[in-house]
């Protein structure tokens, strides 16, 4: 009997327990439908608050930006608790403290009033305008669109030049593809977009030949974003920056770039 009890005690000690092994965890949110940066894996089931320990990957999310963020935190020994939601909900999550940070976010003066940004870049891309192949538009920068209607996904930022332009009529849509559906109905002059992400979406739908691009009008870098004044915001940003430096030095960042871009 005593031998049996000893065996049970040994087994209990061998089983990992949160009481004895507190895990370092960062809680993040991001969007999907942003190919090839953050997008859903085929046939993936949505998992709210998915826990991803170092050395493992998400069951639902993939893409360049996700790999950069995940590998940066994993390099520092942090697990990631991940929420994949529409962008506006992700912003709400970070404002209310449900998550510590969100990504990828470009830095604008308005956002800097309320949020902290990492030093390390999550991704970088060019901003362009998509117009129908037959469009007579004579492109001469964003000024060419003065008084004209251009679609932009609701809650997304397309850089300072776009944000500061008050002369374009900016029509809000819910997704990249919805923007082009409205354009096809001849209700718009064009669609503003992140070149790599929008090109990928059009290619997947086999409709790239219907449009041409003008620009780019700006190159935008995106970062990890945290709420100013939050208890963990500064810490999370610092951990990400240190981790990104590590993966840049050890070659992992280069591997991610080759894989996706």
pLDDT of 114 reads: 95
pLDDT of 146 reads: 98
Extents of the domains making up the chain: 21-122+222-260, 124-220
- Quote the CATH superfamily of domain 124-220: Periplasmic binding protein-like II (3.40.190.10)
- Quote the CATH superfamily of domain 21-122+222-260: Periplasmic binding protein-like II (3.40.190.10)
Predicted confidence (pLDDT) per residue in 213-243, tens digit: 999 999 999 999 999 998 789 999 999 999 9
Q: Are 223 and 107 in contact (CB under 8 A)?
A: yes
Distance CA 32, CA 205 (A): 17
Decide whether 21-122+222-260 matches 124-220 in CATH topology: yes
Type and span of the H or E element at 216: strand 211-227
Q: Give bridge partners of residue 191 from the DSSP assignment.
A: 130, 151
Terminal alpha carbon distance of the chain: 63
Q: Is the dihedral of CA 51, 111, 131, 124 positive or negative?
A: negative
Distance CA 222, CA 106 (A): 4
Distance CA 104, CA 92 (A): 15
pLDDT of 89 reads: 95
Distance CA 43, CA 57 (A): 16
Q: Give every residue of the chain whose pLDDT is below 70, as ranges.
A: 1-22
Distance CA 133, CA 113 (A): 40
Predicted confidence (pLDDT) per residue in 108-131, tens digit: 888 999 999 999 999 999 999 999
């Amino acid at each position: 009997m005593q031998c049996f009890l000893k065996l049970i005690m040994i087994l209990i000690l061998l089983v990992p327990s949160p009481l004895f092994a507190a895990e370092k965890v960062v809680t993040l949110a991001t969007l999907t439908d942003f190919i090839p940066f953050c997008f859903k894996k085929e046939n993936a089931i949505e998992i709210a608050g998915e826990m991803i320990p170092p050395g493992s990957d998400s069951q639902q999310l993939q893409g360049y930006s996700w790999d950069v963020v995940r590998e940066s935190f994993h390099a520092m020994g942090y697990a990631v608790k991940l929420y994949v939601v529409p962008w506006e909900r992700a912003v709400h999550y970070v404002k209310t403290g449900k998550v510590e940070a969100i990504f990828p976010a470009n830095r604008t003066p308005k956002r800097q009033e309320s949020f902290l940004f990492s030093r390390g870049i999550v991704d970088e891309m060019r901003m362009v305008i998509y117009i129908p192949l037959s469009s007579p538009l004579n492109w001469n920068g964003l000024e060419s669109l003065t008084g004209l209607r251009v679609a932009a996904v609701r809650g997304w930022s397309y850089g300072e030049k776009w944000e500061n332009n008050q002369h374009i009529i900016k029509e809000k849509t819910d997704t990249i593809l919805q923007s082009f559906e409205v354009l096809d109905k001849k209700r718009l002059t064009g669609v503003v977009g992140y070149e790599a992400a929008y090109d990928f979406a059009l290619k997947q739908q086999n409709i790239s030949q219907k449009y041409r691009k003008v620009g780019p009008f700006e190159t935008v870098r995106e970062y990890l974003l945290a709420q100013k004044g939050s208890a963990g915001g500064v810490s999370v940003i610092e951990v990400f920056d240190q981790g990104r430096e590590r993966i840049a030095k050890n070659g992992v960042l280069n591997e991610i770039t080759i894989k996706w871009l």
